[in-house]
């Protein structure tokens, strides 16, 4: 993976069970122009170091999707969120079935100043209190499926 595609802008790896972190990190460094990355249900790709490698190698990354299924609930947690926080150019983020909490989300908000779309699915430890709503004010669309609400125009109302 990655041999002849340095100008690749979109990479979607869906249910890629045979790609490991080491191989992925080696390959991702060959895609410096990557703008969109989808790692849905890739059970063997993840972790803070892997996401930090993405943030370091792909400075143009604007969209990141890390969807898990319920069989891997909890695999995505604090460490992964801090790895995502290194993806400073993100504009769109989608996370599902994660055990990250509000503190980890604050790290993402603080380090990803261009974030304008956030989609959280079954991330039950993220509490949308007043402080969290203040962090989300710049976000145009925030969908928090944990509560079943859609909050347009950066206004979270719970």
> Between 119 and 98, where is the model more confident?
119
**Confidence tier at 52 by pLDDT (50, 70, 90):** very high
**Residue 70: pLDDT band with limits 50, 70, 90:** low
**What gap in Å lies between CA 106 and CA 104, rounded to an integer?**
5
Over residues 113-133, the pLDDT tens digits come to: 999 988 887 777 887 788 888
Query: Could you tell me if residue 5 is inside a domain?
Result: no
Residue 2 domain-assigned? no
Write out pLDDT tens, residues 28-51: 999 999 999 999 888 889 899 999
Check residue 71 and report its DSSP letter. Answer: G
SS3 content of the chain, % helix, strand, coil (to 5): 30, 20, 55
Is residue 70 one of the residues assigned to a domain? yes
User: Please, what is the end-to-end C-alpha distance for the chain in angstroms?
Assistant: 44
CATH at 113: 3.80.10.10
Chain mean pLDDT for the chain: 82
Number of domains in the chain: 1
Crossing angle, helix 48-57 and helix 21-28, to 10 degrees? 10
- The answer to whether residue 40 is domain-embedded is yes
Structural domain containing residue 140: 10-152
Residue 157 lies in a domain: no
Which residues, including other chains, have CB under 8 Å from residue 69's CB and lie 6 or more apart? 41, 97
Q: Which two tokens stand for residue 132?
A: 């969290």
- Full-model pTM: 0.83
**pLDDT value for 137:** 82
């Amino acid at each position: 993976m990655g041999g002849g595609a340095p100008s690749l802008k979109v990479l979607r790896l869906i249910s890629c069970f045979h790609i490991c972190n080491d191989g992925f990190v080696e390959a991702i460094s060959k895609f410096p122009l990557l703008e969109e990355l989808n790692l849905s249900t890739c059970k063997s790709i993840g972790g803070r170091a892997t996401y930090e490698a993405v943030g370091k190698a792909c400075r143009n990354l604007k969209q990141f999707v890390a969807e898990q299924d319920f069989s891997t609930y909890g695999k995505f947690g604090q460490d992964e969120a801090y790895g995502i926080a290194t993806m400073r150019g993100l504009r769109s983020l989608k996370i599902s079935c994660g055990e990250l909490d509000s503190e980890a989300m604050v790290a993402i908000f603080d380090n990803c100043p261009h974030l304008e779309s956030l989609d959280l699915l079954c991330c039950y430890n993220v509490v949308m209190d007043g402080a969290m709503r203040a962090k989300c004010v710049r976000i145009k669309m925030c969908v928090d499926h944990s509560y079943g609400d859609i909050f347009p125009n950066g206004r979270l109302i719970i």
